[in-house]
Structure 1
Amino acid sequence: MTDTSAAEPASEQGDSVIVTRALTKRYRGGQLAVDGLDLTVPAGSVFGFLGPNGSGKTTTIRMLMGLIEPTSGTARVLGRHMPRATRAVLPHIGALIEGPALYGFLSGRDNLLRYDAADPTADPRTRRTRVAAALDRVGLTAAAGKKAKAYSLGMKQRLGLASALLQPRRLLVLDEPTNGLDPQGMREIRALIRELASDGTTVFLSSHLLDEIEQVCTDVAVMAQGRLITQGAVGDLAAGMRGRLVVTTPDTAEAARVLKEQGAGDVVVSEDRVTAEPPDQDLADLNTALVMAGVRVRGFGVERASLEDAFVALTGEGFDVAG
């Protein structure tokens, strides 16, 4: 069935390119993979999608792309119902999900020519120009004539990303886009994502690298056990948590004792510093208590909570988002 309705204006969607309401997927046997998901992805954002292994991220992405149907609830992408409007919506989306599908016996350039030829909206007269531009954008021009089976994992990731960039896209969906890249390649892809976002493309990014999310994403959603735990601006997620108190001192044992007496929690001692959850008192008074006890305080302050701290606090798990 084809959705023939016109796409809603952005203002009617609250300037959001993805909106799900009570989106649910239950597989045969009763497995509940996604449970009542209400997700909103702002237009123009770089949106990080996080969750522990088996949290339902991949299932959600498949429903958003029209690859599988939800059991109940709705998903609107670019103002259209999915999967009903798959044919109308997908030409406006670039996607790299679970690694690129490549023809190993073809060169990188020929793989992209095949991808472009499969797009009914692509003008064949400018195909080679588009392919050359996409290869250049991901740094593969020099390897364009090399067979894909000889590409490294990082080069394959770049080629997959190039396939998603053959046409201007309103939405780019990326699953682990820096997988297999060296540090320089990771920096280049992050810069490219920022550039795409500044040009008006919304980027929906699933990654297991928390520093990647913090460096490149403007917004984030966290899932656990098929449910949405939180969503919002990246800075707000960590800012809502108390940071760790850090005391640098050669007198770590005495400092730890004083901190515990003053009500600090989760006190951890290392070679020349003590960290803890700050107690509910003025930090100046806490510093005074340390000095009065003879602790030689060389550094005293509160480190900002990281996205990883927030993730662990929200999900109760270590960071593993492979599922």
Structure 2
Amino acid sequence: MAPAIETRELTKRYRGGQLAVDRLSLTVPEGAVFGFLGPNGSGKTTTIRMLMGLITPTAGTAQVLGRPMPRATRTVLPHVGALIEGPALYGFLNGRDNLLRYDSADPTADPRTRKMRVAQALDRVGLTAAAAKKSKAYSLGMKQRLGLAAALLQPRRLLVLDEPTNGLDPQGMREIRTLVRELASDGTTVFLSSHLLDEIEQVCTHAAVMAQGRLITQGPVADLAATTRGRLTVTTPDTADAARVLKEHGVTLTETTDTHLKAEPPPPETDLADLNKALVTAGVRVRGFGVERASLEDAFVALTGEGFDVAG
């Protein structure tokens, strides 16, 4: 099965020499929930704009649903729902009329079922009660929901979402995650860009990590975390002595209580058995010693040496 999205050496350099995306080779499997992960300014939105034919690459190639972009824009985009850089809304129209306007601009949309599909889209994003309210009075989170509803007016093979939970409260975030999972279970490929590691880890099957315009890694989410050591935990009543020994072995502590210590993942060259032995030899009464399962945050820090927002 051909990938839903595939790029080869995709590059975008703006006037003045700014290199926004640097030789990106990306593969998004058909049917995946693919997290496109990176700090703000890492090149995610520029990449999405090239994939959707909104801007032209400086070099390299991009294929979406098996067709070259931007050359095949008219063929591809009817099968793609997208929410990029926030929705463009008519502030003087209410939520329902905005969607009716969006739908009427789609030459593939059946006008006979327009009102029904608009009502269904509003219901899926939780905006039925606010459908008669003018969109200029919507909060940022409500605008994000309405933009997502516009992307869902028609069945889509591919859904591209750029920071879809911007402005949403925790409950709204959970609802969007649930919706993404439902869409994926129906066979839609979802390409989800975010700077929130926790969001990607909860909902995505695959992910790619971007930093400063370059691809750092990509693959199944479980595999990305499996290649990295998780955080170290030690249970002991001798926390002061344990902290001293750990620091001597290059381990960075993150949390200390009367009976527990937590630390950043030990350096790759550190043998965990030797570290435990060093604690015991120093007279530390070790009652628990282990390494937690690595998270995407741990993997990102290990790969790039830096971190970013992780809240979900």
TM-score range, shorter chain: over 0.9
Which secondary structure does the structure 1 equivalent of 2:159 belong to? strand
Residues 139-160 of structure 1: CA deviation (Å, up to 9, x unaligned): 1111111111121211111111
Which secondary structure does the structure 2 equivalent of 1:116 belong to? helix
**Letter paired with 1:203:** V
Q: Is the 8 A contact 2:39 2:195 kept in 1?
A: no
More moved, 83-92 vs 179-188: 179-188
Provide the residue aligned with 1:214 in structure 2. 201
Structure 2 segments unaligned to the other structure (5+ residues)? none
Provide the residue aligned with 2:305 in structure 1. 316
Give 1:298 shift: 4.1
Q: How many residues align?
A: 306
Structure 1 segments unaligned to the other structure (5+ residues)? 1-10
1:1-323 paired onto structure 2 within 5 Å: 11=1, 13=2, 16-260=3-247, 263-268=249-254, 270-272=256-258, 273-276=260-263, 277-278=265-266, 280-281=270-271, 283=273, 286-287=275-276, 289-291=278-280, 293-319=282-308
**Letter paired with 2:271:** Q
Distance across 2 between alignment mates of 1:309 and 1:275: 14
Q: Is the 8 A contact 1:252 1:269 kept in 2?
A: no
Give 1:176 shift: 1.2
Residues 237-291 of structure 1: CA deviation (Å, up to 9, x unaligned): 1110112221123321101233345x353345523332344473353x6445534
Q: Is the 8 A contact 1:53 1:320 kept in 2?
A: no
Distance across 2 between alignment mates of 1:268 and 1:56: 31
More moved, 179-188 vs 312-321: 312-321
**Letter paired with 1:312:** V
Q: Is the 8 A contact 1:134 1:166 kept in 2?
A: yes
Distance 1:268 1:207, change over 3 A: closer
Q: Is the 8 A contact 2:7 2:60 kept in 1?
A: yes
Q: TM-score, normalised by structure 2?
A: 0.92
Quote the sequence identity (%).
82
Distance 1:24 1:320, change over 3 A: farther
Residues 104-146 of structure 1: CA deviation (Å, up to 9, x unaligned): 1111100000000010000111100110110111111111111
**Letter paired with 2:251:** G
Q: TM-score, normalised by structure 1?
A: 0.89
Q: Is the 8 A contact 1:243 1:303 kept in 2?
A: yes
Distance 1:101 1:82, change over 3 A: same
Which secondary structure does the structure 1 equivalent of 2:167 belong to? coil
Distance across 1 between alignment mates of 2:250 and 2:293: 17
Distance 1:33 1:246, change over 3 A: same
Residues 187-245 of structure 1: CA deviation (Å, up to 9, x unaligned): 11101000000101000001122111000001111112221111001111111011222
Q: Is the 8 A contact 1:34 1:226 kept in 2?
A: yes
Distance across 2 between alignment mates of 1:137 and 1:103: 21
